[in-house]
Chains A and B, each alone.
Chain A
Amino acid sequence: MPETDKVICITCPKGCRLDVTREGDTILKVDNCGCKRGEEYVKAELIDPRRMVATTVKIKGGVHPLLPVYTAKPFPKPRIRELLGALQQVELQTPVGMGDVVIKDALGTGIDILASREMQPAS
């Protein structure tokens, strides 16, 4: 039984409202695209949706108690909750440099978690 979904494409700021007709995981039709990137977006969204994730982790010895971190690449959406849970337990120590790898290969995805900024020991 074909189903239709409405999906907002976020490849560019226009945000076309796409009408997607699919049968299970197979995409039959994508209507309302402003350009061909819409179809690619929908395929990715339905099969393997990913998002950039930014959050904070605890850090000791710095001017603030938290260090902002982010995923080096878009992260699998279904595993974001798990990632956030893992990051709650992390506690770093200054000094940390911008771009330092805070967690390598997070949850086995091959995606590193990086420091968004440097933080030096507070004087």
Chain B
Amino acid sequence: MAIKDIYDVVVIGAGPGGLAAAIAAKQNGARDVLIIERDLEPGGILLQCIHNGFGLEIFKQDLPGPSYAQKFINDALSCGVDLLLDTMVLDITPDRRIFTASRKGGIREIRAKALVLAMGCRERTRAQVRLPGTRPAGVYTAGTAQRWVNVEGYMPGKKFVILGSGDIGMIMARRLTFEGAKVERVLEVMPFLTGLTRNYVQCLLDYDIELQLQHTVKRIIGNKRVEAIEAVAVDEKWEPIPGSEEIIPCDTLLLSVGLIPENELSRKAGVALDGLTAGPFVDDRFETNVPGVFAAGNVVHVYDLVDWVTQAGLASGKAAALYAVEQEHKTQRKIPIRSGENVHHVVPQHICADSLKYADIKLQLRVKQPVEDPVWVEVRKGANLVARRAERYARPGEMITVTLPVKAYDEVEAAEELTVAIMKR
């Protein structure tokens, strides 16, 4: 397969976001589509997510990650998407010139009429959570451990403490137990679970692994290799409570303390990033502030279910294809969406005034604090209610979607801004 110099649509990343974008682009008029992927195979992070739970929404099936990925890989290849593997994008310019490096291809310059950023996210590090103590071998992010255990065939340790009750940490707790290791404790600094309840039951409770909420790592002990973790209880301000320290002997500390959208390349392309999400500002078609540059998936904000990543990918791919083919950037008025009461952030951060004429718009958000009671998720223009959704509860670990329906067009079209807020029912 010869790589062309110019493509209608180039997608960066062959994970679920990128694969969906590429497929949608091809199906919506793009004459040629290329995905550039840094790993040796397509599939992105799904290749190492061997557990089930993928596809419950869009396929009504309970698939493991690699199977979910395989479906889209097959679709992409059969509809004629070009795939460039083992290739790193070094740089992107605002006029959509892409510079890549690979062993086989050397340095390449590829131009894109439209570009979709789908680089996913990286894991928060030990330094970013400022864990005191020594720097021995044996401190890993949960994703790095997952790659070793599931793909490369190595156990990173024998006795584990996991910091963070995020999904990756809980999933790895079970995975490591399956492979004969001992998970001593899971520590979570918040007073609530940050991952899905389903995982708490199936990964921790099922295997008698103790979770301590409002606890964290006070320091890491061990010079060459981790020898122990000093755990400590914390108050609501995350301050350690003196006297609550406990030394837990172990040889590995896994960090599952959050994901950060990976936007090094986006910055280079001049894409403006939202401080709340660490991802680009996007509109309802997932276009960024740079004309012809779109973004979809975890690179925009961290999703809880891959099914929604696929949806975003499909939407962005379609928009990218239309942009590439029509070559017009509709300079439309954009209406900002503000985060109101108990809302941490909303994506998209603004919508095109016209969009509601044609289709519903999904707004996706995460709350700041959990509410274990029925709530309304309300979209208001000033005091006027534009749309709302009933939820039985609201948790930071689970993304909430509220839809702006087509029938709200007249109300929305005249708005200066809209606000999304959580109200108790």
Contacts and interface: CB of A to CB of B under 8 A. Distances in A.
B57 to A, nearest CB: 11
Chief secondary structure at chain A's binding surface: loop
B336 to A, nearest CB: 30
B127 interface: no
Contacts of A55: 50, 175, 178-179
A110 interface: no
B393 interface: yes
B205 A70 contact: no
Interface string B49-78: 011100000000010111101100000000
Contacts of B65: 68, 116
A34 B41 CA distance: 43
A70 B63 CA distance: 9
Contact of B151 (A15, A64, A70, A118): A64
A15 B47 CA distance: 28
B206 A68 contact: no
Interface residues of A, number: 25
A65 B202 contact: no
A8 B392 contact: no
B143 to A, nearest CB: 16
B196 interface: yes
B206 A116 contact: no
Contacts of B62: 52
A6 B196 CA distance: 18
Contacts of A52: 51-52, 62
A99 interface: yes
Given A64-B152, A68-B50, A117-B70, A51 B64 contact: no
Interface string A6-23: 001010011100000000
A90 interface: no
Nearest to B52: A52
Given A51-B206, A54-B51, A63-B41, A68 B66 contact: yes
Given A51-B206, A98-B70, A14 B151 contact: no
Given A10-B197, A56-B50, A64 B153 contact: yes
B398 interface: yes
Interface string B303-340: 00000000000000000000000000000000000000
Given A34-B392, A51-B202, A13 B196 contact: yes
B202 A116 contact: no
Interface string A59-80: 0000111101010000001000
B52 A99 contact: no
A70 B50 contact: yes
Interface string A34-66: 100000000000000001101110100001111
Given A64-B152, A65-B153, A66-B151, A54 B201 contact: no
Given A55-B178, A70-B52, A10 B198 contact: yes
A77 B393 CA distance: 30
Nearest to A122: B40
Interface string B325-368: 00000000000000000000000000000000000000000000
Nearest to A34: B392
A22 to B, nearest CB: 18
B200 interface: yes
A34 B372 CA distance: 12
20 contacts: A8-B200, A8-B201, A10-B198, A10-B201, A13-B197, A15-B198, A52-B62, A54-B64, A55-B179, A56-B153, A58-B153, A64-B151, A65-B152, A66-B150, A66-B153, A70-B64, A77-B206, A116-B50, A116-B66, A117-B70
Interface of A: 8, 10, 13-15, 34, 51-52, 54-56, 58, 63-66, 68, 70, 77, 84, 98-99, 116-118
A-B pairs with lowest CB-CB distance, top 9: A15-B197, A68-B50, A117-B66, A116-B64, A116-B66, A52-B52, A65-B153, A54-B51, A10-B198
Interface of B: 40-41, 43, 47, 50-52, 62, 64-67, 69-70, 149-153, 175, 178-179, 196-198, 200-202, 205-206, 392-393, 398
